[in-house]
């Protein structure tokens, strides 16, 4: 298997490119959020969301859910919402919240305990999923340790 590596452009070059063609930055951002992020999360979304739901071909089903039948990387996601903020040079940045289908969604804690006791799922399965989803492990600890002494100076 062959791999290709492309270096990320230097900060000054990215800043100049953003200043020369700000519309390209916005259009690229829309592709990332409306197409790639929505697809990875398993949510139907189009460039006209949520206004598209006023037509018969809206992204939501008749129950108001945008979830794709197969879900996404986190499992089923019934809803997804977020907001765009524009940073220092006008580049967009996204903050979102996804509502993931889970065992607690329509049950009381007593019913969840009963389902665990019936063997429908194990507590360890829930813990393993939560640990995976909220993973904060560093991918390459050695590379991070090498960067730490000069990280603050390089940032400025």
| Tens digit of each residue's pLDDT (9 = 90 or more) over 107-125 | 888 998 898 899 988 889 8
The secondary element (H helix, E strand) that includes residue 155 is helix 151-155
Is residue 97 within 8 Å of residue 81, measured between CB atoms? yes
Asked whether residue 103 carries a pLDDT value surpassing 80, the answer given is: no
The runs of H, that is alpha helices, within 3-150 are 11-20, 22-30, 38-41, 109-117, 123-133, 141-147
CA dihedral 16, 22, 23, 24 (to 10 degrees): 30
Tens digits of per-residue pLDDT, 45-65? Answer: 888 887 888 877 888 888 888
The secondary element (H helix, E strand) that includes residue 85 is strand 77-86
CA distances for 46 relative to 96, 142, 146, angstroms: 16, 41, 42
Asked whether residue 90 carries a pLDDT value surpassing 80, the answer given is: no
- CA distance linking residue 7 with residue 5, whole number of Å: 7
pTM beyond 0.75, yes or no: no
pLDDT for residue 7: 84
């Amino acid at each position: 298997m062959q791999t290709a590596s492309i270096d990320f452009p230097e900060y000054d070059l990215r800043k100049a490119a953003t200043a020369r063609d700000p519309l390209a930055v916005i259009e690229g951002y829309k592709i990332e959020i409306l197409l790639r992020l929505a697809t990875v999360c398993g949510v139907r979304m189009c460039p006209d969301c949520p206004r598209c739901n006023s037509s018969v071909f809206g992204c939501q089903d008749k129950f108001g859910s945008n979830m794709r039948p197969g879900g996404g990387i986190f499992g089923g996601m019934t809803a997804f919402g977020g907001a765009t903020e524009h940073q220092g040079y006008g580049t967009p940045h996204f903050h979102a919240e996804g509502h993931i289908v889970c065992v607690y969604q329509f049950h009381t804690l007593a019913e969840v305990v009963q389902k665990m006791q019936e063997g429908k799922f194990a507590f360890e399965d829930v813990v393993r999923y939560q640990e995976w989803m909220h993973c904060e492990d560093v991918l390459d600890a050695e590379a991070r340790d090498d960067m730490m002494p000069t990280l603050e100076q390089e940032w400025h």
